[in-house]
């Protein structure tokens, strides 16, 4: 039994859903109001205990298993849902070696200590006389009592060892406090609190676990205005994004993340209702940061202040990203690094510039309605750079034109899409009032990759074989069979998509699969076709969550004799998805009919909407049956 199946066997989907949805029994299933959209009349949310799945037949029109429900409810990606549900079910995803067990225990101790430090600093802010200055600073910055509590803000006393004394009296060792980044060791011996007379911002990872602190100085003459925890076993600035634990649901819902520059900016935006805001911590935006964001959305907007986004900063940041250690420095806008990551991650990164002299928290305090307009005005990186470089420059001066072109053309050359490269080249030509051909002559030329010699195909590998599937009753078995072929040969997705469209049917999507482990494998197979670093099958296997790798190899073994060049294999794949869709559409119609009858009895206007869904389902079934008959007739004629 796989980890995923074991978790499902231990967790009852009805119990899990009942924690947030009031369910009532309806035959062998359960119904309730969907928690993902507003509806108080017709309970269009159905849980199917037999299959361990759920589906909303209303506005959402979504469904899945316990993993999909947890992902949608909590804003988790599949890895996070897998880890959290495994912990809840008491399932060990894989046996840790002794070193891993010791490391996990160490991390648990450090996080527990940091959680207690949050309470300590909160008490100092809200309950001590010394914390009044810090509290006044926060309220003057426009933060409410509820926001201060929600983000667990605190205050570090203006003393050398108040925290050290507090925790050593509680039994923590000086080594624990040093490892957690709460105290530092003197060269001449002894220890002192790292944070003193500062406002404290707890920093959590995307799962909400404590990792460290950011601290804002209250003295104007302090050398470092902001100070972060030192690098530790649980704190790594290159991996952490402030506010991501609170922002991920909003990011998924709005399909967009907005990256700002500071803790106060994130907090003020969340308080104003813009909860998809996050920030890095004094570092350039790294590929690791972008990968975390990309799990939730591919649309990323950088909100930079006028100085950081301006001409000089742009010039400095084209090739070099500043690294920060003990001294906290402002991150440099690095267009070239962002562009390369954008291409590598298949993301959409845009830049918006804030009004001169204003931070995001000042923008929303002055006029909250201005913020969505600023985000909507975000421009692609190259467009932002060319406009920034051209600002306040004499564009009638040929040397100025050349200088700008020399900065922008290398960025355009880094863009993977030929259409985008041509579009930006045209835009730059119009801006500089020069011909495109002159810019093309300046454009850096890339080396052509060496042609690989094709490896001869073994005759045994080319032997056609197809697995009989028409007699299978288990929809999960059909889904697994389909995914097993697709993992090995993702390129077949394109052929299936074309064939489905020829039959008037929708293209493939993760919604074709009810079970989240198979959805994740399909999603990774799609992503493997969008990258060019590895062979698609290798990419998918390398990037799957570890507990799914064994399951993927099981599916591959079941289909190892299939030949992607064989027409029978393609037809097998297409026939499988047709059967999956037919079963799902039939079940949908049965449930819709039940909901329709209930709506008609209650005089609910949704009865008409359900009728429209029934009509659509009937049309879909006709198309599916027609396609399936075609394949059955073809099979008979071939035999």
Angle at 223 between CA 221 and CA 227, to 5 degrees: 120
Q: CATH classification of 244-392 is 3.40.1360.10, yes or no? A: yes
For residues 275 and 246, give the distance between their C-alpha atoms in angstroms, rounded to a whole number: 8
User: Does the pTM exceed 0.75?
Assistant: no
Mean pLDDT over 180-192 rounds to: 92
**Residues 21-67: tens digit of each pLDDT:** 999 888 778 888 888 877 667 788 899 887 889 988 877 878 889 99
For residues 456 and 280, give the distance between their C-alpha atoms in angstroms, rounded to a whole number: 49
What is the residue whose two structure tokens read 């119009």?
430
Residue 300: how many other CB atoms lie within 10 Å: 26
Q: What is the pLDDT of residue 459?
A: 35
**Residues 577-619: tens digit of each pLDDT:** 999 999 988 888 888 887 777 777 766 666 777 788 888 889 9
Mean pLDDT over 182-208 rounds to: 93
Q: How far is CA 534 from CA 530, 537, 538, 541, 568, in A?
A: 11, 8, 6, 11, 28
Asked whether the beta carbons of 330 and 282 are under 8 A apart, the reply is yes
**Residues 138-159: tens digit of each pLDDT:** 999 999 999 999 999 999 999 9
**Residues 554-569: tens digit of each pLDDT:** 888 777 666 555 677 7
Read off the pLDDT band of 638 (50, 70, 90). Answer: low
Sequence ranges of the domains in the chain: 3-89, 104-228, 244-392, 395-444, 475-638
**Residues 621-633: tens digit of each pLDDT:** 999 888 888 766 6
Q: Is 216 helix (H, G, I), strand (E, B) or coil?
A: strand
> Quick check: 444 pLDDT over 60?
yes
Distance of CA 122 to the CA centre of its chain: 31
> Quick check: 79 pLDDT over 70?
yes
Q: How far is CA 279 from CA 251, 284, 302, 370, in A?
A: 13, 11, 9, 20
For residues 246 and 276, give the distance between their C-alpha atoms in angstroms, rounded to a whole number: 8
Task: Please state which CATH class domain 475-638 belongs to.
Answer: mainly alpha
- CATH number, domain 3-89: 3.90.580.10
Q: What is the pLDDT of residue 563?
A: 56
Read off the pLDDT band of 270 (50, 70, 90). Answer: very high
**Residues 232-244: tens digit of each pLDDT:** 989 998 889 999 9
For residues 457 and 432, give the distance between their C-alpha atoms in angstroms, rounded to a whole number: 53
- CATH number, domain 104-228: 3.90.980.10
Find residue 353's DSSP bridge partners.
Answer: 304
> Quick check: 447 pLDDT over 60?
no
**Residues 525-546: tens digit of each pLDDT:** 888 887 777 777 777 777 788 7
Tokens of 574: 């297409």
Read off the pLDDT band of 446 (50, 70, 90). Answer: low
Distance of CA 271 to the CA centre of its chain: 22
Find residue 379's DSSP bridge partners.
Answer: 351
Tokens of 323: 């690294």
When mean pLDDT is compared across 62-76, 405-419, 469-483, 569-583, the lowest value belongs to: 469-483
Q: What is the pLDDT of residue 272?
A: 96
> Quick check: 448 pLDDT over 60?
no
User: In whole numbers, what is the pLDDT of the chain averaged over residues?
Assistant: 83
């Amino acid at each position: 039994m796989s980890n995923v199946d074991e978790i499902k066997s231990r967790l009852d989907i009805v119990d899990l859903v009942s924690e947030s949805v009031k369910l009532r029994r309806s035959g062998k299933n359960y119904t309730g109001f969907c928690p993902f959209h507003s509806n108080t009349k017709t309970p269009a949310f159905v849980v199917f205990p037999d299959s361990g799945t759920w589906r909303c037949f209303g506005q959402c029109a979504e469904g899945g298993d316990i993993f999909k429900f947890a992902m949608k409810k909590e804003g988790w990606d599949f890895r996070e849902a897998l880890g959290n549900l495994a912990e809840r079910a008491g399932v060990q995803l894989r046996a840790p070696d002794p070193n891993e067990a010791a490391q996990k225990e160490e991390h648990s101790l450090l996080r527990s200590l940091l959680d207690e430090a949050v309470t300590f600093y909160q008490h100092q802010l809200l309950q001590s006389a010394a914390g009044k200055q810090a509290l006044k600073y926060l309220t003057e910055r426009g933060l409410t009592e509820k926001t201060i509590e929600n983000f667990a803000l605190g205050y570090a006393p203006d003393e050398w060892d108040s925290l050290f004394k507090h925790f050593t009296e509680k039994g923590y060792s000086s080594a624990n406090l040093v490892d957690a980044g709460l105290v530092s060791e003197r060269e001449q011996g002894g220890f002192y609190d790292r944070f003193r007379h500062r406002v404290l911002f707890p920093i959590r990872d995307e799962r909400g676990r404590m990792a460290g602190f950011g601290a804002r100085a209250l003295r104007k003459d302090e050398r470092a205005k902001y100070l972060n925890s030192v690098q530790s076993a649980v704190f790594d600035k290159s991996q952490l994004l402030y506010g991501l634990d609170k922002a991920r649901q909003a990011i998924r819902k709005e399909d967009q993340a907005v990256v700002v520059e500071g803790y106060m900016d994130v907090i003020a935006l969340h308080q104003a209702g813009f909860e998809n805001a996050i920030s890095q911590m004094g570092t350039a935006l790294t590929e690791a940061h972008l990968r975390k964001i990309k799990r939730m959305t591919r649309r990323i907007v950088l909100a930079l202040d006028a100085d950081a986004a301006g001409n000089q900063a742009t010039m400095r940041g084209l090739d070099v990203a500043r690294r920060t250690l003990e001294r906290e420095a402002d991150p440099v806008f690095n267009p070239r690094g962002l562009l390369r990551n954008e291409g590598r991650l298949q993301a959409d990164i845009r830049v918006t510039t804030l009004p001169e002299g204003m931070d995001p928290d000042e923008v929303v305090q002055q006029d909250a309605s201005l913020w969505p307009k600023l985000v909507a005005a975000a421009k692609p990186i190259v467009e932002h750079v060319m406009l920034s470089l051209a600002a306040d420059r004499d564009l009638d001066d040929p040397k100025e034109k050349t200088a700008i072109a020399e900065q922008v053309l290398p960025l355009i050359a880094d863009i993977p899409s030929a259409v985008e490269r041509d579009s930006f080249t045209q835009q730059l030509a119009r801006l500089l009032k020069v011909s495109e051909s002159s810019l093309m002559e300046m454009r850096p030329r890339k080396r052509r990759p060496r042609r690989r010699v094709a490896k001869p195909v073994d005759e045994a590998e080319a032997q056609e074989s197809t697995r009989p599937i028409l007699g299978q009753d288990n929809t999960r078995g059909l889904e697994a069979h389909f995914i097993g072929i697709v993992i090995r040969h993702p390129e077949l997705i394109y052929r299936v998509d074309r064939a489905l469209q020829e039959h008037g049917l929708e293209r493939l999507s993760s919604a074709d699969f009810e079970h989240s482990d198979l959805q994740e494998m399909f999603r990774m197979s799609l992503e493997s076709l969008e990258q060019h670093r590895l062979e698609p099958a290798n990419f998918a296997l390398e990037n799957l969550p570890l507990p799914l790798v064994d399951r993927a190899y099981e599916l591959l073994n079941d289909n190892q004799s299939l030949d992607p060049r064989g027409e029978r294999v393609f037809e097998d794949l297409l026939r499988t998805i047709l059967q999956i869709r037919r079963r799902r559409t039939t079940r949908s119609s049965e449930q819709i009919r039940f909901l329709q009858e209930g709506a008609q009895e209650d005089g609910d206007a949704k009865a008409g909407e359900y009728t429209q869904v029934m009509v659509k389902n009937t049309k879909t079934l006709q198309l599916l049956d027609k396609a399936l008959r075609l394949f059955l007739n073809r099979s008979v004629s071939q035999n």
